């Protein structure tokens, strides 16, 4: 099956700094990638939809200037959490679609802790 | 809008028994449904999917049933094993390449 790799799996950063999370489709080209946020014992909440070569579409309530998304190639999307605060601590997950099927393939997630 | 929800937050079953996890959705236009399994600290793992033109689909030890009349989806796991312990999410979408809406999640706990 298709593999989506997310890096890093864990990151701890200081308040006020920025953190970049990478999402790569290893064996397929992803026309669309999605970024989710998940709080403990909660469901996945979609943050934004990222299409290669165009601006990301953010869900209501998600600050696009705080959560910068770049989808520069068909195999890589990045999420940068800018000026991180402790309340940004969460589990961030990406998924990718091939464009030929609706099934989405998920990365292993990134645990962000802001101290 | 779309909302997808699960009826119960937790389910405890004896090893070897069958498990049934239920899910309700609100958007009658939803045409594609997926069940995911998520283990602690990991991303969701695809289990099985079903399109709205089907009522039932079987995989290895898993079966998904879709009742469009009452907008209900279920996941059946046969001979539940300790490795099945995880949080299970249903998700729904409308159309191709459309964003998924996830249910709240149900924790399946398997007793040895």
Per-residue pLDDT of B56-93, as tens digits, reads 999 999 999 999 999 999 999 999 999 999 999 999 98
Longest dimension (CA), chain A: 41
Residues of A with CB under 8 A from a CB of B: 1, 4, 6, 31-32, 34, 41-46, 49, 91, 93, 95, 97, 99, 102-109, 111
pLDDT in tens, A10-19: 999 999 999 9
Q: Is A85 exposed, middle or buried (0-12, 13-18, 19+ CB in 10 A)?
A: exposed
Q: Which residues in A47-69 are b (16+ Cβ under 10 Å) and which e?
A: bbbbebeeebbbeeebeeeebbb
Q: Which residues in A11-20 are b (16+ Cβ under 10 Å) and which e?
A: bebeeeeebe
pLDDT in tens, A59-74: 999 999 999 999 889 8
pLDDT in tens, B17-60: 999 999 999 888 899 999 999 999 999 999 999 999 999 999 99
Q: Which residue has the tokens 């992803």?
A: A30
Residues of B with CB under 8 A from a CB of A: 32, 34, 36, 41-46, 49, 89, 93, 96-105
In degrees rounded to 5, what are phi and psi of residue B82? -55, -35
pLDDT tier at B2, thresholds 50, 70, 90: low
Contact (Cβ atoms closer than 8 angstroms) between residue B41 and residue A109: yes
pLDDT tier at A30, thresholds 50, 70, 90: confident
- Taking contacts as CB-CB distances below 8 angstroms, the residues of chain B near A58 are none
List the one residue out of B58, B70, B61, B60 whose CA is nearest residue B22.
Answer: B70
Q: Which of B43, B98, B103 is closest, CB to CB, to A43? A: B103
Predicted confidence (pLDDT) at residue B5 exceeds the cutoff of 90? no
Between A2 and A102, the higher pLDDT residue = A2
Q: Which residue does chain A place closest to B51, by CA atoms? A: A102
List the one residue out of A51, A38, A47 whose CA is nearest residue A97.
Answer: A51
Between A99 and B35, the higher pLDDT residue = B35
CA distance A30 to chain B (A): 11
Between B16 and B3, the higher pLDDT residue = B16
Tell me which of A104, A107, A110 to substitute to probe the interface with B (most B C-beta atoms closer than 10 Å): A104
Mean pLDDT of B85-109: 87
Q: Which residue does chain A place closest to B96, by CA atoms? A: A102
Q: Which residue does chain B place closest to A108, by CA atoms? A: B43
pLDDT tier at A40, thresholds 50, 70, 90: confident
Number of C-alpha atoms within 13 angstroms, CB side, residue B26? 9
Q: What is the mean pLDDT of chain A?
A: 92
Between strands A67-73 and A76-81, the pairing is antiparallel
């Amino acid at each position: 099956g298709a593999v989506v790799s997310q890096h890093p799996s864990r990151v701890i950063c200081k308040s006020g700094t920025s953190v970049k999370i990478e999402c790569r489709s290893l064996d397929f080209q992803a026309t669309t990638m999605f970024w989710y946020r998940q709080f403990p014992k909660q469901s996945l909440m979609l943050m934004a939809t990222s299409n290669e070569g165009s601006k990301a579409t953010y869900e209501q309530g998600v600050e696009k200037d705080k959560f910068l998304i770049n989808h520069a190639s068909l195999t890589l999307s990045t999420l940068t959490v800018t000026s991180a605060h402790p309340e940004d601590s969460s589990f961030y997950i990406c998924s990718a679609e091939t464009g030929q099927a609706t099934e989405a393939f998920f990365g292993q997630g990134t645990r962000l802790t802001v101290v | 809008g779309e909302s997808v929800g699960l009826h119960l937050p937790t389910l405890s079953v004896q090893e070897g028994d069958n498990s049934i996890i239920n899910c309700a959705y609100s958007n009658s236009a939803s045409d594609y449904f997926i069940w995911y399994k998520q283990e602690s600290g990991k991303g969701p793992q695809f289990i099985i999917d079903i399109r709205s033109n089907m009522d039932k689909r079987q995989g290895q030890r898993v079966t998904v049933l879709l009742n469009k009349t009452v907008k209900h989806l279920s996941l059946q796991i046969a001979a539940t094993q300790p490795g099945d312990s995880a949080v299970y999410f249903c998700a729904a979408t409308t159309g191709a390449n459309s964003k998924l809406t996830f249910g709240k999640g149900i924790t399946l706990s398997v007793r040895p």
